[in-house]
Structure 1
Amino acid sequence: MRHKFSWVNNQRTKKHSSMALEAWYMEENEEDKRLPHHKNPKEFVSLNKLAEIGILYWHLNPKNYENDEELNKIRETRGYNYMDLLDLCPEKIENYEEKLRNFYTEHIHADEEIRYCLEGSGYFDVRDKDDRWIRIWIKGGDMIILPAGIYHRFTLDTSNYVKLMRLFKGEPVWTAYNRPQEAHPARQEYIKNVVENSGIALEAH
């Protein structure tokens, strides 16, 4: 098993919290998935709440990503030796609609998913401990880490463009395991270390 977990203080998930990204509970309906899907009234989710389900967050300077000491420190500390860039928009991606449908199909990964938004914006949807959808709106400078085993999906917003940095430990493996995956080792470890430990932030490494 590659995935080990250790408990950390919530403060480590709140780098530059004054620049916090926006997140909220979703209203599930048949409207365009690229719309915000706010509940009425709106129900926002704090960084502490995201930390409770294992999500880490930093706000960095996207205009200086090639020489950013803070980004380099994160990569070194967490062992992210692989990096690539992804421009996601209709003009630059073959089979764009098909890929977007795949991204929006609920799934897990056997490893962390690390995404750093350099330009544009988009939505990561994640399940909370009660299986409710939380929509996370990432914009330029937002870097989030989704733990292995968390159910999630991704879509662009109405801007139809995002430029993402993807980080990984070792050789990249982008395999998605569509729900249900309750027997998957990464899902079982996530349940054990996050869902069954209410209120405790977690860091994968």
Structure 2
Amino acid sequence: MVASGEGVTTIQAWYMNDTNEDQRLPHHCNPEEYVSLEKLSELGVLYWHLNADDYENDEEFNKIRESRGYTYSDLITCCPDKLPNYEAKIQSFFEEHIHSDEEIRFCLEGSGYFDVRDLNDRWIRIWVKKGDMIVLPAGIYHRFTLDSDNYIMALRLFVGEPVWTPHNRPQDDHPARLDYIKAFTKEAEPVEAQ
């Protein structure tokens, strides 16, 4: 995992409580349980803090794009007056799902929450803000919602042509999920009997 941008790390992550409060609230446990960048890395989540004001000319951003093969990008703005069918879209983004490919988002303005499941099936809430770039690995159960400010503008990046298809849970037999489990669980190999 990389945290950069003049040494600034702004991302915050924590285990979520299990209440039915508004999805846009922080949902901290009591007491609060924060999650480190190292823990996110163990789940395959990558993070960088970059220059959101001049990203087209940011050398680090361009190196990441090139080294990871991100050849396609577009902008999405999520807020009530910019996203058609806003409430329905926000609810659909919040459905637990996986993708066959990585999900890459670079927050240029505003903020929002990406929730990911840890290997014990607990939700971790990741609060992305301006300058945060996050990569969720293919096959990780996740969802997205805005926070109470109801605004984010993000650059979406893809390897090749964009694939928008979410596969809602359960997807435990999906090839991307099986690959994810194999890559990120530390289960011991069975020992052969002697």
Q: TM-score range with shorter-chain normalisation?
A: over 0.9
Paired position in structure 2 for 1:15: 3
Provide the identity percentage. 64
Q: Which has the larger radius of gyration?
A: 2
Paired position in structure 1 for 2:61: 71
Shift of 1:52: 0.4
Q: Which residues of 2 match residues 21-100 of structure 1 at below 5 A?
A: 21-100=11-90
Shift of 1:28: 1.3
The 2-side partners of 1:23 and 1:101 are apart by: 21
Letter in 1 for 2:117: R
Q: Please tell me whether the aligned partners of residues 117 and 142 of structure 2 are also in contact (alpha carbons under 8 angstroms).
A: yes
Of 136, 154, 158, the residue aligned with 2:144 is: 154
Q: Which residues of 2 match residues 87-166 of structure 1 at below 5 A?
A: 87-166=77-156
Distance change (3 Å), C-alpha of 1:197 and 1:174: farther
TM-score, normalised relative to structure 1: 0.88
Letter in 2 for 1:184: H
Letter in 2 for 1:150: I
**Counterpart of 1:172 in 2: which secondary structure?**
coil
- In the TM superposition, structure 1's runs of 4+ consecutive aligned residues that sit over 4 Å from their partners are none
Matched, 1:167 2:160: no
The 1-side partners of 2:69 and 2:183 are apart by: 21
Task: Report how many residues are paired.
Answer: 186
**Counterpart of 1:125 in 2: which secondary structure?**
strand
The 2-side partners of 1:122 and 1:98 are apart by: 17
Q: Please tell me whether the aligned partners of residues 83 and 165 of structure 1 are also in contact (alpha carbons under 8 angstroms).
A: yes
Letter in 1 for 2:63: K
Q: Deviations over 1:45-74 (max 9, x none)?
A: 000000000001000010011211111110
Q: Whose helix proportion is higher, 1 or 2?
A: 1
Paired position in structure 1 for 2:191: none
The 1-side partners of 2:127 and 2:18 are apart by: 16
Shift of 1:197: 5.5
Letter in 1 for 2:120: D
Where in structure 1 are there 5+ consecutive unaligned residues?
1-12, 199-205
Q: Please tell me whether the aligned partners of residues 25 and 45 of structure 1 are also in contact (alpha carbons under 8 angstroms).
A: yes
The 2-side partners of 1:127 and 1:61 are apart by: 28
Letter in 1 for 2:15: Y
